[in-house]
Amino acid sequence: MRGGFTPGEAAGCLVLGRRRLGARLKRRPLATISGVGVHQETQLRDSDAGSFGLALSEAVMDAAAGLDLPAHAADAVYCDINGERYRSEEWGLFATRAHAALRSLQYQTFCGSIGDVGAAFGAIASIVAAQSFARGYAQDPAPS
């Protein structure tokens, strides 16, 4: 083992492409991205006041801006709450602002099953969500 450190995080990989690429490769898409929201938290968790999850709320609402809410609100939420206090606090504050984008404030985490996946969370959550829809574990938001 190089340097005596055993990595403890997960890894994930997503292949993103346009529909025509999938058609050319004869691959059916597992998921479609309907909206994107990107914001950076300016009040960090280690500040005197702590984080209020403003960037999370803004990113979710931007991603949901093109959806017909509440008809197309999210049915399933996968999040990285892992027992760290600030994550739960941010989720609670997010819920007071951006709940319109969700059918329910219930969520699924990975820390009790595959563990805290760290920086790989985005890729792994996307993969789990796509597979949950494909396998019928979660309701497909846009059935074909």
Domains and CATH numbers, the chain: 16-135 (3.40.47)
Residue 140 is predicted with a pLDDT of 63
Q: Are 110 and 54 in contact (CB under 8 A)?
A: no
Rg of the Cα trace of the chain?
Answer: 17
* pLDDT the model gives residue 54: 93
- What does the pLDDT read at residue 43? 86
Identify the CA nearest to 122 among candidates 66, 63, 65. Answer: 63
Read off the pLDDT of residues 42-63 as tens digits, 9 standing for 90 and up: 988 888 888 898 999 999 999 9
Side chain identity at 73, as an amino acid letter? A
Q: Is 132 left (phi over 0), alpha (psi -120 to 50) or beta?
A: alpha
For 5-37, how does the pLDDT look when each residue is reduced to its tens digit (9 = 90+)? 445 678 899 989 999 999 999 998 888 898 999
Contact 37, 59 (CB under 8 A): yes
- Whole-model pTM: value is 0.80
**Res 1: pLDDT:** 45
